Amino acid sequence: DLLTAIAAVRVSSVLNRNNSEFGKRHLTDRNPETCWNSDQGAGQWIELALARPSRLLSLQLQFQGGFSATRCLVAALPGDGEPQLLADARLSDSSQLQSLNLAPGAPPVRDRIRLTFLETADPFGRVTVYQLGGTVLPC
């Protein structure tokens, strides 16, 4: 379970800096009523620090329709090297849970995973994520 493998979460922004309603902690609280909501601007991101090296097998996201990412880069960020692309995914502007296809033979993630939302349904670049999940295996 990806959520149990996460040691820390960082995000690019929080809507109106309102962490109590829209903060990063809502990405991992398993509550379908709460969400992370970015502020406006291109290239919003979520960064997940893993507790131990792991292999990411799958990744799921649930957005709010109208505030969905329609293109997402997923990269492994090693502490001492270049980012390694795990996925360049096209997503739907939908409130349904969506799965991202990972690159075949993707390398293990030693430190961190970054999801960068390159394109969004919202013209101002805002993204709203209600659920984050996935499958990881320890290396």
CATH number of the domain that 70 lies in?
A: 2.60.120.260
pTM for this structure?
0.95
Q: How far is CA 102 from its chain centroid?
A: 13
How are beta strands 112-120 and 69-77 bridged, if at all? antiparallel
Instruction: Provide the residue type at 94 as one letter.
Output: S
- Residue 45 pLDDT: 98
Token reading at 95: 């409130």
Using DSSP's 3-state secondary structure scheme, residue 63 falls into strand
**Beta strands of 29-127 (E only): which ranges?**
36-37, 44-50, 54-63, 69-77, 84-90, 97-100, 112-120
- Residue 118 pLDDT: 98
- Residue 106 pLDDT: 81
Cα–Cα distances (Å) from 133 to 48, 60, 89, 108, in that order, read 11, 5, 16, 17
Cα separation, 55 vs 108, in Å, equals: 4
Per-residue pLDDT of the chain (139 residues; tens, 9 = 90+): 999 999 999 999 999 999 999 999 999 999 999 999 999 999 999 999 999 999 999 999 999 999 999 999 999 998 777 899 999 999 999 999 999 988 778 888 989 999 999 999 999 999 999 999 999 988 8
Token reading at 54: 């792991």
Question: Domain of 61?
Answer: 2-138
Count of structural domains within the chain:
1
- Residue 28 pLDDT: 97
Residues 6+ apart with CB under 8 A from 109: 50, 53, 54, 55, 56, 76, 86, 136
Residue pair 48/112 in contact by the 8 Å Cβ criterion? yes
